[in-house]
């Protein structure tokens, strides 16, 4: 907050108060803009329950390491526990095996 206060030549407490006020306003509007797909969640949870007796599950998560040729300037950033270069891929699938989230 100090850097923002310095940037706008104002007191840190003013920045803090503004952040608190704006956060409160955004939180009060959340139901107008954020809608969770509850029907989809119920369907997915029921499918995991009936297929594998996993109650309350919305996704299956796993990860893998994908081998790469590391960039010359920062090879150590891509070194994995087996001392080879890779990037990590994490994925979540629903009960039908469709990807719902991927992170690399």
For 65-93, the three-class secondary structure string (H helix, E strand, C coil) is EEECCCCHHHHHHHECCCCCEEEEEEEEE
**39 in a domain, yes or no?**
no
- The domain of 99 spans 57-103
**8 in a domain, yes or no?**
yes
The mean per-residue pLDDT over the stretch 13-31 comes to 94
Closest CA to 43 of 65, 26, 58, 61: 58
Put simply, whether the predicted model's pTM sits higher than 0.75 gets the answer no
Residue 90: per-residue pLDDT? 98
Alpha-carbon distances, residue 23 vs 16, 40, 56 (angstroms): 11, 29, 31
Residue 82: per-residue pLDDT? 93
Closest CA to 100 of 64, 68, 66, 57: 57
**47 in a domain, yes or no?**
no
**52 in a domain, yes or no?**
no
User: Domain tally for the chain?
Assistant: 2
Residue 85: per-residue pLDDT? 96
Residue 11: per-residue pLDDT? 92
**87 in a domain, yes or no?**
yes
Residues 31-85: pLDDT tens digits?
Answer: 888 877 788 889 999 999 999 999 999 999 999 999 999 999 999 999 999 999 9
């Amino acid at each position: 907050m100090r850097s923002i206060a310095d940037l706008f030549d104002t007191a840190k407490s003013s920045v803090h108060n503004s952040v608190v006020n704006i956060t409160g306003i955004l939180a009060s509007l959340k139901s107008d803009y954020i809608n969770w797909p509850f029907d989809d969640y119920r369907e997915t949870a029921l499918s995991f329950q009936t297929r594998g007796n996993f109650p309350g599950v919305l996704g299956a998560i796993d990860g893998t390491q994908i081998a790469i040729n590391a960039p010359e300037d920062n090879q150590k950033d891509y070194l994995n526990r087996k001392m080879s270069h890779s990037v990590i891929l994490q994925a979540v699938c629903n009960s039908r095996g469709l990807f719902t989230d991927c992170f690399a």
